[in-house]
Amino acid sequence: MDDKTNTEIYRAGKGSNTGIKDSDPVTTEIVRNALNSAANQMKRTLIRASFSPTVYEVLDFAVALYDKEIRLLSQAPSLPIFMATMSFCIEAAVEGVGGEENLEPGDVILYNLPYGTGSHAQDAAIVMPVFLDDGKTLIGYATNKAHWLDIGAKDPYCTDTTDVFQEGVVFPGVKLYSKGEKVRDIFRMIEANSRMPVGTLGDINAQIASIRVGAKELLRVVNRFGKDTFEYAVERMFDAGEAVIRKYFESIDDGRYIGKGIMDDNGVDTDLIEFDIIVEIDGSTVRMDYSTAPDAQRGPINCPLPSTVSASRVAVTMLAGAGEPPNEGHLRPVEVITRPGSMFHPLPPSPCFLYGWSAISAMEGIYEALAKAVPTDVPAGSAADICAVLVWGAKDNKYGEPWVGGSPFPMGQGGFAGGDGDTMIHVAEAAARFPPVEVWEALYPWRFEKFELIQDSAGAGQHRGGLGIDIVFEVFEDFSLISTVERTKVPGWAALGGKSGKTNGVTITYPDGKQKKIGKITNMQLPKGTKIAIHCGGGGGYGDPKKRNPELVERDLKEGYISRKFAEKNYAF
């Protein structure tokens, strides 16, 4: 796969590095604060009004404000892997309704075609153009993208689709509201195509409430400062963001660093998928080259361009963004090279339901590469998954709809120069929380048996990885199981002589006691009384285990994090 003749470079939006200094740094800072505050209000509104735990607990959404050139003004902390895709969503949504000239005040556009959102069809973007009070002058966009409970894919969640048409109903840029008037037909179509229409429509209403708050606040900020002052301030804000990232990469030696992505299989075939990501640091620019990745796969692990770009941007801004929410400027130094038709730039009708897992693998690869350049700033690899398992039942429950229970779960994170890794949800979903067992058990017919750290699961190292966890539950009615669990074959990477942690996995125990291990699977029918065990793996170690402080080894023994046997095998003990 060395054919690089057919590649594309993706860079951030128009107007890179304007050098405009007209706007004073005070107004710029006040505008920046006001825009971030507006995004926070959008986020809180969406959380408070949403119906599905996927939104209000897992934070499987992004909210953002963009200017009229579709450049990122601000976003609230939410699902990282969504956050840098929103410009693509707006471009595609606006194009879908016939371009900017067809936008009217009061319009709300729905768009969920995977190649434009970067996601699967369940992740629906809603876009609202924002106009000045004259009703003519476009000043920007309020947008969000949230994971819907169901929009009619072949199954409520899919690991084995072979084209995009099996993955849900597509709305390729249609108006949900036109000049403020609700377009009821679209809502009726959504209702008719969802297995869980009440929750899905509830979440759409929450999304709309959220963008309306954002639109109102954006207009207020523009009116507060005046359009010209606002626009100057925004240019300067972008330049400032850009400078933060460029300064970081200027301080690193130029070079080409290679990281590896590994996935169990493509969901349909059984072969291991491997790819390289070449990270090139070139002065203050960082270039991610995905062009050597395999061709688009038959199964749904293809990652559409917007999410390939997003994974790259998120990896960079989390490392070099000084801990702050990025804007368009922070994204400018990041360049992404892809090959159309490859798994990181799939073309229609390639299936993409599991795009997020490829994006996680890509982030792991990017960090593995960057660790070679700046080992003190980058932790070792994690267990490289979110260990998400969904169970669903078609029987009547108290809400009169089929029920779905599922979540991403924590797993071991990598050790780093400053200490041991912890047990957390993958950085690609950094703000996500899994729902409480007590809340879940009050809702659905299941009982959890275990939520416990796994002894000896963490990769050994001078700074060890974080521990994995075992989650075990029993379901009380016949049900379907969907497992998206990845990286059951090859563990995550370790750094500087550390060792890898335990891999992920799922074990099914039938009522008769027979057991079966599975990886990715869709709609496995199981009888009531079946127990599911999710094994979330451990993080990679950082540095030579023999150099680990003996007191810490003793402590790990006392806490039961490691066994004596493990200590003797791995540490100077």
Partner 1 sequence: MAKRIGVDIGGTFTDLLFYDDKTNSYIVEKVPTVPDHPEQGCLNAVNLAVSEDLLQESEYFLHGTTVGINALLERKGAKVGLLATTGFRDILEIRRGDRAEMYNLIWTPPPPIVPRHLRLPVNERTMADGSIHLPINDDDVLEALKVFEEEGADSIAVTYLHSYVNPEHELRTETLLREAGFEGAISLSHKVSGEFREYERTTTTAVDAFVRKRMQNYMSQLESDLGDKGFKGHCLITRSGSGCMTFAEAEARPFETIMSGPVAGAEGAAELARALQLGDLITADVGGTSFDTCLIINGRPQLLYQGIVEGLPLQTPWVDVRSIGAGGGSIAHVDAGGLLRVGPQSAGSVPGPACYSRGGEEATVTDAAFYLGMLGEGELASNVKLDRTKAEAAIAKVAAQLGMSNENCARGIVRIACASMSETIREITIEQGNDPRNMSLLAFGGAGPLLASLMAEELDITNIIVPPYAGNFSAWGLLGADLLRATARSHILPVSKENIIKANSILDELFSELESRDNAYDANKWVKEIAIDMRYRGQEHSMTIQPDIKKGRISNSADELQQAFVDAYENSFGGSLETTTEIVSLRATLRQTLPARKYSRADYTDSNTEENKSLQAYSFHKNEWMEFKLYQRAALESSRTYEGPAIVSEQTTTIYIDSNDSFTSLDDGCLLINHSGGAN
CA distances 377 to 258, 385, 455, Å, are 17, 21, 28
| DSSP count for the chain of H helices, then E strands | 14, 23
Q: At which residue do the structure tokens 């990017």 appear?
A: 366
Which one of 6, 33, 137, 563 is in contact with partner 1 (CB under 8 A)? 33
Q: Are 42 and 59 in contact (CB under 8 A)?
A: no
By CB under 8 A, residue 71 contacts partner 1: no
CB 378 within 8 A of CB 319: yes
Comparing CB distances to partner 1, the nearer of 264 and 470 is 470
Contact pick of 11, 154, 212, 489 for partner 1 (by CB under 8 A): 212
Which of 217, 55, 58, 220 is closest to 144 using CA atoms? 55
* Interface residue with partner 1, options 34, 174, 296, 567 (CB under 8 A): 34
For residues 168 and 410, which CB has a smaller minimum distance to partner 1 in the complex? 410
Nearer to partner 1, 152 or 379 (CB): 379
What is the rounded CA–CA span in Å between residue 444 and residue 456? 32
Q: With CA atoms as reference, report the closest residue to 251 among 364, 365, 373, 368.
A: 373
The residue (of 29 and 544) whose beta carbon lies closer to partner 1 is 29
- For residues 350-409, which are near partner 1 according to CB under 8 A? 377-379, 398-399, 408-409
The alpha carbon of residue 296 and the mean position of all alpha carbons in its chain are separated, in whole angstroms, by 20
The count of chain residues that interact with partner 1, using the rule CB under 8 A, is 95
Cβ nearer to partner 1, comparing 1 with 431: 431
Nearest CA to 9 among 350, 241, 326, 285?
285
Both tokens of residue 293?
């990745």
Q: How far is CA 524 from CA 298, 300, 477, in A?
A: 20, 17, 14
Judged on CB neighbours under 10 Å (0-12, 13-18, 19+), 15 is middle
353 vs 479, beta carbon nearer partner 1: 479
Nearer to partner 1, 46 or 508 (CB): 46
Nearest-angstrom CA–CA distance, 283 and 246? 8
- What residues between 140 and 199 interact with partner 1 by CB under 8 A? 198-199
What is the rounded (10 degree) CA torsion for 35, 37, 42, 45? -160
Contact pattern from residue 84 through residue 123 relative to partner 1, giving x for each residue in contact according to CB under 8 A and a dash for the rest: ----------------------------------------
Between residue 428 and residue 467, which ones bind partner 1 under the rule CB under 8 A? 430-434, 436-439, 441-442, 447-453
Least distance (Å) between residue 495 CB and partner 1: 12
**Beta strands of 199-349 (E only): which ranges?**
255-263, 273-282, 285-289, 334-338
Separation between Cα atoms, residue 315 and residue 342, nearest integer Å: 21
**Least distance (Å) between residue 27 CB and partner 1:** 9
| Binding window for partner 1 (CB under 8 A); candidates: 33-41, 124-132, 180-188, 249-257 | 33-41
Residue 51, interface with partner 1 (CB under 8 A)? yes
List the interface residues with partner 1, window 271-330 (CB under 8 A). 317-319, 321-326, 329
The correct pick among 129, 241, 261, 306 for binding partner 1 (CB under 8 A) is 241
Q: Per the structure block, which two tokens stand in for 535?
A: 């094994």
Quick one: which of 132, 169, 189, 243 contacts partner 1 (CB under 8 A)? 243
- What whole-number distance in Å separates Cα of residue 67 and Cα of residue 73? 6
- Out of 560, 563, 568, 572, which residue is the one contacting partner 1 (CB under 8 A)? 560
Q: Which span (166-174, 232-240, 273-281, 493-501) binds partner 1, by CB under 8 A? A: 232-240
Minimum CB distance to partner 1 smaller for 127 or for 233:
233
Q: What minimum distance in Å lies between the beta carbon of 369 and partner 1?
A: 14
Q: Examine residue 48 and tell whether it contacts partner 1 (CB under 8 A).
A: yes
Asked whether the beta carbons of 4 and 291 are under 8 A apart, the reply is: yes
Should residue 242 be labelled a site residue for partner 1 when binding is judged by CB under 8 A? yes
- Which C-beta is closer to partner 1: that of 196 or that of 482? 196
**CB nearer partner 1, residue 241 or residue 501:** 241
